[in-house]
Structure 1
Amino acid sequence: MSQDRDVLPEDVKPINYAISLTDLSPGEPWTYQGTVNIDVEIKKATKSIVLNAFALKLHSAEVASDSGKHSSSVKASNISYDEKNQRATLTFDQELPQSPKAVLSISFEGIMNNNMAGFYRSKYKPTVEPAKGVAKDNEHHYMFSTQFESSDARRAFPCFDEPNLKATFDFEIEIPEDLVALSNMQERETRKSKAGHKIVSFDRTPIMSTYLLAWAFGDFEYIEDFTRRKYNGKSLPVRVYTTRGLKHQGQLALDSAHQIVDYFSEIFQIDYPLPKVDLLAVHEFSHGAMENWGLITYRTTAVLFDEYASDQKYRNRVVYVVAHELAHQWFGNLVTMDWWSELWLNEGFATWVGWYAVDHLHPDWNVWGQFVTDSMQMAFQLDSLRTSHPIEVPVRNALEVDQIFDHISYLKGSSVIRMLASHLGVKTFLQGVADYLKAHKYSNATTNDLWSALSKASGQDVTSFMDPWIRKIGFPVVTVAEEPGQLSVKQSRFLTAGEVKPEEDQTVWWIPLGLKTGPYATDAKREPLTAKEDTYRDVDTSFYKVNVDQTGFYRTNLPPQRLIELSKVLDKLSVQDKIGLVGDAAALAVAGEGTSPAVLSFLEGFVTEKNYLVWSEVLSSLGKIRSIFSADEEVSAGLRKYTLKLVTAATDKIGWDFGPSDDYLTGQLRALLISTAGLVGHESVVAEAQKRFKAFLDGDAKAIHPSLRAAVFKTAIKNGGDDAYKAVRKEFQTTSSIDGKEITLQALGSVQTHELATDYLKFAFGGNVAVQDLHSVGASLANNSKVRDAVWEYIKAEWPAIREKLGANMVVLERFLRMSLQKFASAEVEKDIEQFFSNKDNTGYDRGLAVVSDTIKGNARYRERDLERTREWLNAHGYTK
């Protein structure tokens, strides 16, 4: 057994699973009966077999082996459970001989739970007349699907549930005859079983990890297209499945999916390896989507889109999530990480190449600008905490892994891949990736295997310069000092809290400088920074920009005067450059290496900006400043006035109406500016929002453009009090729009009193809001400084009920706590949170609590340091009079 991993004994290895599920109860107790026949190799003689099982009853087990001279069958004399480690031990009275192939047969009972993990049920309300065989209760109908990553296949059937214990799978399931069953492979046959039921069996899968196995059944229908490329002489069927009545909303995902399968087959130089691609919309889903091989499952808002009724921002989300999950069909499924510590290999790469594919399909969306303002800034935020972790983080037990499905694995991982691809050249980088996939297909690989392939393709020592980025915690800030004709640069660890201790600043990162200089902003090629300090000579310092297009994963600390100079020549900068400058300036202020007044002065230069992504970063950075100082009424009012002045001209110019020639980014800018202006009291915007809101409530469905619902609902609630709150809450309950529930939940957080905030929380936790969406409730209230305290008070008062409701799926509970609590800027609140959880079992969300604590401490220090100087600046510039 490996010393640094708590893994199953190595004496038995699976080869193939044949799983059969029958007698599925369509209501309480939601049980099913199962048998699994596992072809195993017994590597050494043993009297026991240990495998994974959780929330299962194992009825019996036996091993049949053929040792050559004679066949034998031995029944397990005892079956014992280790609940904590989710294992079962099968003990036999006689020794099982070493055998290249024995058959382990287990009969068992499982539960189709409602925890969004394992084999589970999802409730929904049908939009059309459903089939008769659909399971239902008084209020809801149900569909059934699986979610096995990271370690929940063991909830559905007994198995060897570790990523490098790959096997093939045969699967069959008994379901009502008018329903549809799906799995990773195509249907092999259907045969009649008991009255009104059929058994559907599927072709054998390729060799793969247990977490990628999937099945689903329900009242499904589909739309279909085919790849344009030929695979073994045929185009592959690509389908989007939904519950009946929703399939037309899968068109955007379908149009994207078949193109992306062909594109990845081309750039990875390996044909998509399965005979079909199915995408399934699942009504209750803890994550965004799951890359099960050949049967990819999605949260509804990540795969469905209504051309006429959806907010346009979901168009971007759907195309990206489809691309991300399809990337996994090669990177993760065909080649799988060796162990969970290398999760980032799957997620970091799929995130980068997912955006790369979106850029290929929609070059007008400027996805790399979006990546810098969303993905990179979020990665910076988490990685600048002392409680961060390396990209490749040691995982001893598979049960720990859920907490590292976070912004470090996904977003920092993808950011450093983007940095590396930019340095090597994307063509060279993708050749290395293709070589890696070919070398390790149908098996497992490590980070070093990827670096070796990239080193060979590029002729550079990728391992040596990427290792600190992967195995060390944190990232650097590059501080620049100017002299005529030269730049001195120094790298040091960046922490939001500032005050970096010498022992925290030992890493020397390899940093590609990406320098543009001179009147035409030309590329001034310079070697990467590979020491703590260096000087670059012969630089035209009349104009320069470090970290061009923000491809390097580091902050840049420029001399204050240089920031002011750059704000006067914004036209020389790319969208990514502008976003990077704003994000860096704001982060440096939080850390005490810059100041809030410097940021506010810099942001005034963006008053004529036209790009949505730049505005998004400007208003996000300004929102952070406003949130930190929100408890001081004078400063808060001054910052509101400042924001109003900043956005007024752009808001007035862009107007309310969507023209036929408006592109995607223009529409998003309109929604952002109207929302911001409405919430800071722009009189004509507030009046227009209230007018449209009233018309909407009076029955004019077209009074509010789908992309402006969030802006109008938030403005109406902020200004309309109890009546507007109740009207939007009713809209939440009655909306038929696929994104309507998410939009109304976010808007309801704009309430202005503790009473309404508490009412909203009671409503949400009273069974009206799906468990998967409760974090949106906490986040929307936490973002509203006026009622932030109400969330923490509610958590304290109702903790046992919250723990019980969310605790069946720790991903959901951790996300709710983190998003509800991390916006505070008070040392007292941080102490209160620490004290409250000090005597509780915080297993499964302890990392989230550490992030909350560290974030609040940094916020509190920032508030204490910058409050008075911000007040002085606002006074001096006439914002507090």
Structure 2
Amino acid sequence: MDGFRNKKKQYQGKRKMIFWVIVCVSGIWLADVLGKDYRLPTAIKPEYYDLEIITYISEDSYSFSGRVMIKVKCLEETNQIILHSKNLTIHKSKVIVQDTLEKKSFKPTNIDFDEEKDFLIITVGNNLLTSQSYNLFIAYDGILDDNLDGYYKSSYYNSNTNKTEWMAVTQFEATSARKAFPCFDEPAMKAIFKISLGRPAEYTTISNMPLIKSDPSPSQPGGMIDHYAVTPPMSTYLIAFIVSKFVYKQSEPTPNNITFRIYTRQDAIEQADFAKEVGPKALSYFENYFKVKYALPKQDMIAIPDFSAGAMENWGLITYRETLLLFDNMTTSEISKYSIANVICHELAHQWFGNLVTMKWWTDLWLNEGFATQMAAIATHGLFPEWNTLDYDTVINVLSVFSLDSLKTSHPISVPVQDPKQIGEIFDIISYKKGSFLLRMLIHFLGEETFKKGITRYLNKHAFNNAQQDDLWAALTKQAHMDGSLYDQMTVKEIMDTWTLQTGYPVLNVVRNYACNTALVMQERFLYDNFNSKSNETKTCWWVPITLMSERNLQLNNTQPRKWLTCPCGIDLMHEMPNKDEWVLFNVNISALYRINYDELNWRLLINALQNNFYNIPVLNRVQLIDDSAALAWTGKLKYDIHFNILSYLVKESDFLPWRAAISNFDTFEKLFRRTSSYGILKTFIRNLLKPIYGRVGGYETKTTLNIVEESRFQSIITMWGCNYKVSGCIEDSKSLFNQWQTNSSDNKIPKDLRGINYCVVLRNGGESEWNYLWSQYQKSNNPAEKQVILVSLGCSRDIWMLVRYLEWSISSDSGIRKQDIGSIFTTVASNEIGYYVVKHFLYQKLPDIYNYLGSSTKRISRVFMSIALQIVENSELNEFKQFLSANKAILEDSAQTIRQAIETAEIQVEWFKRNNRTIIESLKQLNKKINRIKL
């Protein structure tokens, strides 16, 4: 045991060294980590806020005034109180510090601002004494802008009053509470809040807690001031308040007697019924799952017309983009219905993970977002088992993670951050989807009951406080040892630190010895950039839970680890392999985050199984075989012949998820080849694979099924690709349905789940008449989901002048396009083969204008740079792209991480295309002949 402990200490030291070397080599955060300290000093701690904000909404003024009293405790003797404030006008003459013990008030000797760090620095004459409490009084003013951040204004058209209505909304995550009131704007600086909101008499307000009373406002003639109940201890980024003329629907009280309301603009209130049904059920589901009661007396959810995020989990007052809360049974698709349910579950999961227990610092953001993502998948499946969405969520997560985390410019899940600009960049696939998938991996190797009990232990211990990932590992380890789910000499921390403190994931190289029935299993980090890898790169190692099955031992659902690949060794010899004529398959149901590269004979055995009896291989493993073979072939570790032979079985495949994985890889080839002379050969290959499945699930006829969500996805994606590749009259059918709608706009017979596909196909193959008609429908629609479908579809046009006009409209305040939608417009246009050139030129010419329009930020359009990068195959394009990004480095500062990933992606593609272009085409020519011979 002592030897084990010594090895463990040696490994932990090596693990930390590896982590920091990876961070340094990647260059991701190093300069800022070692640079200026943006964190608040720890000498002063807030305990209580008494906050009053008076909001002015009129044609003459969109502003607010506030006063805040913050009770603070001095932890270390100091003569300064340093807190956050940004874009606020502080009335220095009204700043007062009061000694709570002696009831003595005094003015500061100096008040200063550090604008780079958003620090408000209040200096006093005599030192504040350790363990003593003080009251800090500050009066200030602020402006309601329209940048969708902090405390801002939003508007909407009210058909009942025939005019534009205005409202004031908050969005504080991650560091924008300081734009609404001076505060200690860090997650660990929890305090109790008493909030009062002044408003014009014709408006109403809501906040985190229930309304206690309303009084006439002494500082706002004719106005009222609403007083709210005191909150439990909470972080500033979770505070929320809204001034509006919204109405609500109220659900029946939950079994725990929680009041549940859905707020919307008056025109949309009938679209609140689905959320009104799902919200209370999800809340009760989590109470039962966590065995911890929801902590507040009420839960409000509100649909905001202008909202930058998808949704925000403010405690007791969750804010949503309209498309992710409102559902209209006649026009909103079933796929959108799933998205609404999933996002509601995600935000309600945050009421425990993030709100009740909050990460100490943004380094552990994944404790919020990874948990909420995984718990949303579990809860959505629990509430709607007929949708069977758990496997879908798994596939979407793992495909996204496999892709992004194969870049050197990815980052660890638990990543050091300091500058607020960095914090925004880690709200990404790694924090959300990799975090979620690793929790799923934990559930598989610990068992769900151990996981649930460990989570309950963690929540109870840290309720109303802050925690970090080591606290979670400790709770799960203790529970696992009690339950016998983990060997006593193993800890969750030792296993999981290799997954959360390192960038990337492993590929297992499995080489079978067919004479001895053994297999040598070796791990290494998987990287797309295999062309430029250096032998002296830092070696990494993961604790990998090994599960496997074979042709005569079909353990389809056994995801308990057969053994562990441990560190620092990372290599093992496995015995009891199957006979030489049987295939072996690792990672049953993708229960852990790794790829697998087999020896060539085992690959050939798996290809034979797919082509003759593919149902013996679990559907999730068919997904992995498709995606792993594509990725390994990309890096040169596998022959493209093997990958394409795996794809050829798809002419028989009738399950959605393998097709989803295949089409994800088709899309990569499509973007790389469509502007080359070889594209026709690729088109023939993809069309040959699509024809059989299009006949079974494609087209516009309604399919009768028990699982309407999965079948809607399947029909939608196959119809889109069928139309793109001109299969079976798909384009003609699309035009016919659209023309019928144009003739009679009150009767849209296009199936609601296929409208986005139909609109895009028609615009790709139509002209100005169709575009203008669809734009007019966007302007008329009162359904946010339908508006979003139209908005994205408008980017499918191939007419250059219309695309340029569309981009210009997107950054014009009088076009009717909301700022929240600009990113999706740019990304959609850029994904279009003509739009690729249009968006590039538009960005190259107008990036400063876009930056200014978006409130001195490019974060909202950052995804467009990856959309462009994914289509670059020539050195000249790459150099042009890099020069543009370099010239605009200052403007792109808040998108720096995404830019680095886009550049790396483009560099890899240029090198890959140079090496593989001809090989790919020759392989596809042979396979086109073979597929035509396969008996369906």
Fold match by TM threshold 0.5: yes
Deviations along 1:275-303, one digit per CA (max 9) or x if unpaired, are 01111111111111111100011111111
SS at match of 1:845: helix
Alignment of 1:461-500 (within 5 A): 461-484=491-514, 485-499=517-531, 500=533
For structure 1, the 5+ residue unaligned runs are 131-135
Alignment of 1:4-403 (within 5 A): 6-27=38-59, 29-60=61-92, 61-66=94-99, 68=101, 70-98=102-130, 100-129=132-161, 140-193=164-217, 194-230=220-256, 235-403=257-425
CA contact (8 A) 2:857 2:894 kept: no
The answer to whether the aligner puts 1:508 opposite 2:530 as a matched pair is no
Greater CA drift, 595-604 or 505-514: 595-604
CA contact (8 A) 1:169 1:205 kept: yes
Identity of aligned residues (%): 29
**Residues 613 and 254 from structure 1, CA distance in 2 versus in 1: closer, same or farther, beyond 3 angstroms?**
farther
CA contact (8 A) 1:274 1:294 kept: yes
Deviations along 1:571-624, one digit per CA (max 9) or x if unpaired, are 112222222222212222332223544333322211232223332222121111
Q: How far apart, CA to CA, are the structure 2 residues paired with 1:44 and 1:473?
A: 37
SS at match of 2:778: helix
Partner of residue 681, structure 2? 638
SS at match of 2:170: strand
Offset at 1:753?
A: 4.3
Residue 647 of structure 1: which of 685, 690, 695 is its match? 690
Q: How far apart, CA to CA, are the structure 1 residues paired with 2:324 and 2:346?
A: 11
Q: How far apart, CA to CA, are the structure 1 residues paired with 2:805 and 2:95?
A: 56
CA contact (8 A) 1:282 1:300 kept: yes
CA contact (8 A) 1:65 1:99 kept: no
CA contact (8 A) 2:38 2:117 kept: no
Partner of residue 751, structure 1? 797
Deviations along 1:660-719, one digit per CA (max 9) or x if unpaired, are 645221222122211111111125211111000101111252321111111111111122
Q: How far apart, CA to CA, are the structure 2 residues paired with 1:788 and 1:589?
A: 27
The letter of the residue matching 1:535 is: L
Q: How far apart, CA to CA, are the structure 2 residues paired with 1:772 and 1:428?
A: 41
Offset at 1:648?
A: 2.0
Over the aligned positions, Cα root-mean-square deviation in angstroms equals 2.3
Residue 770 of structure 2: which of 689, 710, 724 is its match? 724
Greater CA drift, 678-687 or 221-230: 221-230
The letter of the residue matching 2:920 is: T
Q: How far apart, CA to CA, are the structure 2 residues paired with 1:143 and 1:225?
A: 24
Partner of residue 904, structure 2? 854
Alignment of 1:544-693 (within 5 A): 544-558=584-598, 559=600, 560-568=603-611, 569-633=613-677, 635-654=678-697, 655-659=699-703, 661-662=705-706, 663-693=708-738
CA contact (8 A) 1:351 1:414 kept: yes
Partner of residue 14, structure 2? none
Q: How far apart, CA to CA, are the structure 2 residues paired with 1:44 and 1:487?
A: 60
Deviations along 1:7-50, one digit per CA (max 9) or x if unpaired, are 21222211111111125242455221100011111334443321
The letter of the residue matching 1:617 is: A
The answer to whether the aligner puts 1:419 opposite 2:441 as a matched pair is yes
Greater CA drift, 286-295 or 370-379: 370-379
Deviations along 1:718-745, one digit per CA (max 9) or x if unpaired, are 2213333333333333333221232123
The letter of the residue matching 2:573 is: T
The letter of the residue matching 2:231 is: T
Offset at 1:391?
A: 0.6
Partner of residue 133, structure 1? none
Q: How far apart, CA to CA, are the structure 2 residues paired with 1:823 and 1:442?
A: 48
SS at match of 1:348: helix
Offset at 1:843?
A: 2.0
CA contact (8 A) 2:705 2:711 kept: no
Q: How far apart, CA to CA, are the structure 2 residues paired with 1:712 and 1:321?
A: 26
Offset at 1:227?
A: 4.8
**Residues 25 and 736 from structure 1, CA distance in 2 versus in 1: closer, same or farther, beyond 3 angstroms?**
closer
SS at match of 1:707: helix
Deviations along 1:529-549, one digit per CA (max 9) or x if unpaired, are 224322222122513321111
**Residues 72 and 705 from structure 1, CA distance in 2 versus in 1: closer, same or farther, beyond 3 angstroms?**
same
SS at match of 2:644: helix
Q: How far apart, CA to CA, are the structure 2 residues paired with 1:875 and 1:868?
A: 11
Deviations along 1:312-338, one digit per CA (max 9) or x if unpaired, are 211111111111111111111111111
**Residues 405 and 585 from structure 1, CA distance in 2 versus in 1: closer, same or farther, beyond 3 angstroms?**
same
The answer to whether the aligner puts 1:457 opposite 2:479 as a matched pair is yes
Offset at 1:653?
A: 2.7
Greater CA drift, 92-101 or 728-737: 92-101
Q: How far apart, CA to CA, are the structure 1 residues paired with 2:498 and 2:766?
A: 53
Offset at 1:77?
A: 4.2
Residue 539 of structure 1: which of 557, 573, 577 is its match? 577
Offset at 1:366?
A: 2.7
CA contact (8 A) 2:823 2:862 kept: no
The letter of the residue matching 2:237 is: Y
Residue 895 of structure 2: which of 828, 833, 845 is its match? 845
Greater CA drift, 443-452 or 562-571: 562-571
Offset at 1:364?
A: 2.8
Offset at 1:383?
A: 0.8
State the TM-score, normalized to the length of structure 2: 0.89
SS at match of 1:226: coil
Q: What is the total number of aligned residue pairs between the two structures?
A: 866
Deviations along 1:368-415, one digit per CA (max 9) or x if unpaired, are 321233121112211110101111001123442111111111111111
**Residues 23 and 649 from structure 1, CA distance in 2 versus in 1: closer, same or farther, beyond 3 angstroms?**
closer
The letter of the residue matching 2:671 is: S
State the TM-score, normalized to the length of structure 1: 0.94
Deviations along 1:434-458, one digit per CA (max 9) or x if unpaired, are 1011111111111111001111010
CA contact (8 A) 1:150 1:402 kept: yes
**Residues 874 and 777 from structure 1, CA distance in 2 versus in 1: closer, same or farther, beyond 3 angstroms?**
same
Q: How far apart, CA to CA, are the structure 1 residues paired with 2:535 and 2:160?
A: 65
Deviations along 1:817-836, one digit per CA (max 9) or x if unpaired, are 44454443333322222212
CA contact (8 A) 2:279 2:344 kept: yes
Q: How far apart, CA to CA, are the structure 1 residues paired with 2:772 and 2:679?
A: 28
Deviations along 1:170-212, one digit per CA (max 9) or x if unpaired, are 1111112232211000001111234442111110000011111
